[in-house]
Structure formats: C-alpha cells, structure tokens
Amino acid sequence: MKLCVLGSGSGGNCTLAYSDSSAVLVDAGFSCREIEKRLKTASFSPDKINAILISHEHSDHIKGAALFSRKYGVPAYLTEGTATASEGALEKGDFLRFIRPEEDFKVGDLEIHPFSVPHDAAEPVSYLISNNGRVAMIMTDLGHVTVRAVEKTRMANLVMVESNHDVELLKIGPYPFYLKQRVGGKLGHLSNDACMDLLANAGGAGLSTVIFAHLSRHNNNPNLVRLNADTFFSGSKVAFEIASQDVCGKTHEV
C-alpha cells in the first residue's frame, strides 16, 4: 500500500492511499479541479479512485467531495452526523454511504476502520486503512489524545497525525481570544507537544513512517516541528515528513 498527502492544513486536506488494485481519497477539502491537479503531480489518475472517505463536515475536508464523487462516479463514505451537519453540501445523493465508528468496511482490497475523535464537529472520525497486513493511520482534527487514539496509533506502520500548533505561538499569535480557546481546547486541534507525546507513548515497534499534518500557518512553524522530530527520531529508522498545505508530498510505501 502507498500513501501520499496531496495537501494538509486549514486551507484544505486530501490524502491518497492505494494498493495495486484499489484507491481512496481521505477527505476532499480542495476544489475538484485542485484535487485533479495534485493527483496529476502524484502521477495518479483520478479515474483510479474508488471512494472518498470523509472525516467530518468542516469545509477544509469536504470542499470538493460532492463534485469529485459525481464526476468520477465514486461513493463518499461518511457518518450520518457529518452528512446532516454539512448543511446540504453532502446531505443527500446516491453517492453517499453512511458508516459508523468502529464498524469496518472494505473498498476493494483496502480494509477501512473508522474511529471517533474529539473535535468540534457533529460526528467526526479518523481512519485506519489496512492492506496486506500493513496499516496506515490518518488522524487529524482532534482536540486531545484519547485512549482510543493511542490504541489505534500502536497498530499503525504509517502514522499521519495532526501537529497543529505550538502552544506558545498560539498564545501570542494573531487569533482573537475565542478562537485561541477553540483551537487549543479539548475539541480543537492537537498541539505539537501533544502530538510528540502521542508518538512517544504509542509509536509501536512496527512504526516506519510519520507524517506531521494540518500545521497551522499562523500558530506554528514547520522548522520547529522538524527540529523536534529530528531530535525525537535521531538514531531510529522512522522516516518522517511534514505535510504541506501548498504542495503535494512524497509517496510513501506503508
């Protein structure tokens, strides 16, 4: 199985995961045209996508989902809560497939395991995707680390995890007070420290790749994340990448 982050951040999220015969997009938070453009950069034809897996209703995760689904005739999997809360964007249509947290389903030979995460959305989920005994986790948009998040992280060979903000930068940054409260709150976004704590506690022996994702433009600095990761992973065989909002990332073998 391979995985490539087409882009990640509050301006749009979309990740490609595929085996030899099946492919999914996790979230479709760019316009359909932008997703097509980034797939081209990843040398992957949009015709080969079999499904979209939606995490939650925030526009940076669903912006291009309806159009992409219709244009390429592929289903969008999402919780009922997400559909209702999308206020029309993904509420109706024969391309929707409702899922429940902790209930597995398959897209071709990809086994998908959705699980709940704490975030200020109606019924948000993150995903484990398995193929041939290898497991990728795509987990962004969570306010804090739960027992469940730790359990899932332990199972993954590739962990794509949110490293949204530096706590100090958020404190002194440009956001109004209510937004600082929201982002840093229990249902907001994961801080760099919380992300590293998770990896320290739950990075399993099988972990080979970490992708730091959903970095805030205003309250974080990729160099800071890189520095911490360099120190953390020095001497280990784990490879890491910092996902970009603007450009398509590397293609990783999971």
* Interface positions, 210-249, toward Zn ion (CB under 5 A): none
User: Nearest CA to 172 among 162, 161, 180?
Assistant: 180
Q: 36 or 120: whose CB is closer to Zn ion?
A: 120
Distances in Å between the alpha carbon of 220 and those of 28, 174, 179, 224, 240? 23, 12, 15, 8, 17
Q: 22 or 219: whose CB is closer to Zn ion?
A: 219
Q: Which position among 60, 123, 162, 166 is part of the footprint of Zn ion (CB under 5 A)?
A: 60
What span, in angstroms and rounded, lies between the C-alpha atoms of 56 and 29?
10
Tell me the closest approach of the beta carbon of residue 139 to Zn ion, in angstroms: 12
Which tokens belong to 154?
């332990």
User: Nearest CA to 232 among 192, 199, 191?
Assistant: 199
∠ CA(196), CA(41), CA(206), 5° rounding?
A: 35
Tell me the closest approach of the beta carbon of residue 31 to Zn ion, in angstroms: 16
Q: 141 or 166: whose CB is closer to Zn ion?
A: 141
Distances in Å between the alpha carbon of 226 and those of 63, 181, 192, 234, 250? 29, 26, 11, 12, 16
Q: 107 or 121: whose CB is closer to Zn ion?
A: 121
Lateral strand order in the sheet of 23-26: 96-99, 76-79, 51-53, 23-26, 14-18, 2-7, 251-253
Query: Which one of the spans 55-63, 180-188, 228-236, 246-254 is the region binding Zn ion (CB under 5 A)?
Result: 55-63
Give the burial class of 238: count Cβ atoms within 10 A of its Cβ; 0-12 exposed, 13-18 middle, 19 or more buried: middle
Number of amino acids touching Zn ion (CB under 5 A) = 3
Asked whether the CA dihedral 185, 122, 156, 21 is positive or negative, the reply is negative
Q: Give the residue closest to Zn ion by C-beta.
A: 58
Q: 164 or 209: whose CB is closer to Zn ion?
A: 164
Kindly write out the interface string for residues 164-203 of this chain, putting x where it contacts Zn ion by CB under 5 A and - elsewhere.
----------------------------------------
Sorted by sequence, the CB contacts under 8 Å of residue 40 that are 6+ apart come out as none
* Interface positions, 111-150, toward Zn ion (CB under 5 A): 141
Q: 22 or 55: whose CB is closer to Zn ion?
A: 55
Asked whether the CA dihedral 139, 48, 28, 81 is positive or negative, the reply is negative
Tell me the closest approach of the beta carbon of residue 240 to Zn ion, in angstroms: 20
Q: Which position among 2, 38, 58, 252 is part of the footprint of Zn ion (CB under 5 A)?
A: 58
* DSSP 8-class letter at 3: E
Residue 63 in contact with Zn ion, rule: CB under 5 A: no
Query: Which one of the spans 19-27, 51-59, 85-93, 218-226 is the region binding Zn ion (CB under 5 A)?
Result: 51-59
Q: 10 or 130: whose CB is closer to Zn ion?
A: 10
Tell me the closest approach of the beta carbon of residue 58 to Zn ion, in angstroms: 4
Binding residues vs Zn ion (CB under 5 A): 58, 60, 141
